[in-house]
Amino acid sequence: MKEGAQPRLMQGNEACTEGALAAGLGFYAGYPITPSTEIAEILAGRLPARGGVFIQMEDEIASISAVIGASLTGVKAMTATSGPGFSLMQEGLGYAVMAEVPLVLVDVQRLGPSTGIATAPAQGDVMQARWGTHGDHSIIVLTPSSVAEVYSLTVEAFNFAERYRTPVILLMDEVIAHMRESVVLPSPEQLQVIDRPRPEKPPGVYNQAEYGDLPVRPMACFGDGYRVYVTGLTHDVTGFAVSRPEVVAAETARLNNKIPADGGALIPPEKISCDDAEIVLVAYGGTARSALRAVKQARAQGLKVGLLRPIVLWPVPEKEISALAAAGGRLLVVEMNCGQYGREVERAVAGRTRVDGLYRVSGELITPAEILARIREVA
């Protein structure tokens, strides 16, 4: 940390804006929606003051479309929303995946389906984050569990988006977004900030077709003098639409394979007291905070309990989950939905150990006492 830096009492949504600005955010388009509105509210003042552009759009469809357009000009771009708005953004998200447009989409989860309870916490957008848009594609989804981590993962979201030329989703829940904690932000020189690959050759000399073998190709941006063709249709290295099966298969494979298949290769999950654990909790976001307290309480009572906290939710950190299963410990997945990630854990375990769940959708955070009670039930 920067010497002499002062702690700040900061909300999760505020930390998201600070992280975005530190990563080089230049354009924001969004539509207010609880519980993400503070992100837009803060950036409406902060971003223009730094020379960036803030636009409140008429809806979420227009918001992600504007973000895509801004990113195509070479600017780092972001939007933020919650469940209902996230649903509206899915077509645009799929276009950005196919056209390989870097952007960051922040989804602050609230209780659903539909309007649900706008101010209540939930983790019901886990599967929508992975499969909300149609077609076979890979996606990077990061999920923080503290205000400080909101800041650092927002920076990482931009870095991954730029490095892999892909949309990246920062998936928070209302608990983390509205919680306030004392944090000390790193100084700019302590941050690693990554920019997208750009053509090394000037316009008129650069030939995009020469880079067909690269998993992540240089991005020639509008306004830089290059001839750029962008489409959501299946296309070859030139950007023009194709329907030849061999090209379609190769390009689809490249889109999927350019992102590591295991989330642990991007950011390893956090492991706490797992070495001798007979039961390992799997939890993320706000729920992981309750799970950590439950682990400490269980240990104090002589129960060998650990915690695996995925930070990259998608791709699933399958190697770490498989290793826990191979070690013989049972897994207990805790989440504020009906078992969306629990089924992914079961898939990764592949029957090698028992997987139990504590799944609840009530509009309230699952408490440490409830987790401890469930530990005793499955022990």
Domains and CATH numbers, the chain: 8-190 (3.40.50.970), 267-378 (3.40.50.920)
Give residues with Cβ within 8 angstroms of 286, minimum separation 6: 121, 123, 145, 173, 174, 175, 176, 179, 336, 365
User: Residue 189: its pLDDT value, please?
Assistant: 86
Tokens of residue 348, six digits:
């990764």
Output the six-digit token pair for 325.
């299963």
pLDDT value, residue 198: 96
- What local confidence, expressed as pLDDT, does residue 228 receive? 87
177: CB partners within 8 A, 6+ apart: 11, 12, 13, 16, 35, 36, 38, 108, 150
Around Cβ 102, how many Cβ atoms within 10 Å? 26
Q: Give the span between the Cα atoms of 202 and 216, in whole angstroms.
A: 19
Residue showing tokens 């996230």: 86
Mean pLDDT of successive 10-residue stretches along the chain, which has 379 residues: 75 98 98 98 98 98 98 98 98 98 98 96 98 96 98 98 98 98 92 95 92 94 92 93 96 96 97 96 98 98 97 98 92 98 97 96 97 96
Neighbours of 4 (CB within 10 A): 6
The first and second tokens of residue 299, run together, are 């240990």
